[in-house]
Structure 1
């Protein structure tokens, strides 16, 4: 069974649930996690081919980032140096898909200040492409999607049209109704279960 994970979406969800339950004090404290064990538990199988999709940071040529953006970029890179090896040790395939790009916000209506933020681009496209390739090549009878991105719904419809089972996995408190409606089955992860697999 192949599992397609929107990495940033899942990591933020795990951190939020663990923060709410006071299992961690800061989202950056989540540097190791028994993700494979959690998925084997909730999916009731050890036969999982897990693919974790994440973006890389790209700063445009000739662009001089603000100190705030550079600080944020360094924080992300430092965190990734701990998180990614943790995934690879669990035999989880780490897929660089898409990138984080710098985007200017709309001016503030009060002070007219424009700020810069980092925005993820392309991860959903890569997940959709890989799911469709696997479905059309008949490599998988069941796919598991861990993402609440509604942009994936058209691809999920096409996967189901190939007579494949689609299992949508999400946190119990954040079910996306649109994704759940497309899926053949929805499995929610309770907070207690999330906490159980914290290293």
Structure 2
């Protein structure tokens, strides 16, 4: 009799993760964060079902050179993720006119995919890389009603106590832990 390997789905809140990494001073100049290597590390010897990256898509609303550079930079980054097998799930970005940017719909898409994957029994374990407490109701449903394992991946400088409490397991990474996932920018 062969034992079935644990199946894992990875859900990354791109904007949230970007801000947390930036708060740690990462990635360093002329480097990029290697999300594929990070996911491989998190999954370990288990079977990877999918790796999804949720992000608000940058628009050049003011037709500026800076806006165009931001659009091209994000598209290059997202195309690199797609090439590495990530399913990029786009959301919207809202500008308030005062240089404040807010993502819209990203956490809802992530929560919905998390619940659908549990209902359809696609995974045994969900790994969530986000510190957004708006995900807590979806995590509670997935754990309680569907008996799935949810691993919260956070950052030591700004861990979410709510997600730690509601998840089956949690791992917090510091800057030294994450340094192994730096890669040269030329790789993207």
Using structure 2 for the length normalisation, give the TM-score. Answer: 0.81
1:34-183 counterparts in 2 under 5 A? 34-45=34-45, 47-48=47-48, 49-57=50-58, 70=64, 73-96=67-90, 98-104=91-97, 115-161=98-144, 162-183=146-167
- Asked whether the 8 Å contact 2:58–2:74 carries over to 1, the reply is no
Match of 1:198 in 2: 182
Q: Which residue is equivalent to 2:19?
A: 12
Count of aligned pairs between the two proteins: 174
- Give distance in 2, aligned partners of 1:85 and 1:78: 10
Structure 1 gaps of 5+ residues are 60-64, 105-114
* Higher Rg of the two aligned structures: 1
Contact kept, 8 Å, 1:171 with 1:188, in 2: the verdict is yes
Task: Using the TM superposition, give the Cα deviation of residue 102 of structure 1 relative to its aligned residue in structure 2, in angstroms.
Answer: 2.0
RMSD: 2.2
Give ranges in structure 2 of 5+ residues lacking alignment.
Answer: 1-7, 184-188
Q: Is the 8 A contact 2:59 2:67 kept in 1?
A: no
TM-score (norm 1): 0.77
CA contact (8 A) 1:52 1:93 kept: yes
Does structure 2 conserve the Cα–Cα contact (< 8 Å) formed by 1:58 and 1:99? no
Question: What residue in structure 2 maps to residue 62 of structure 1?
Answer: none
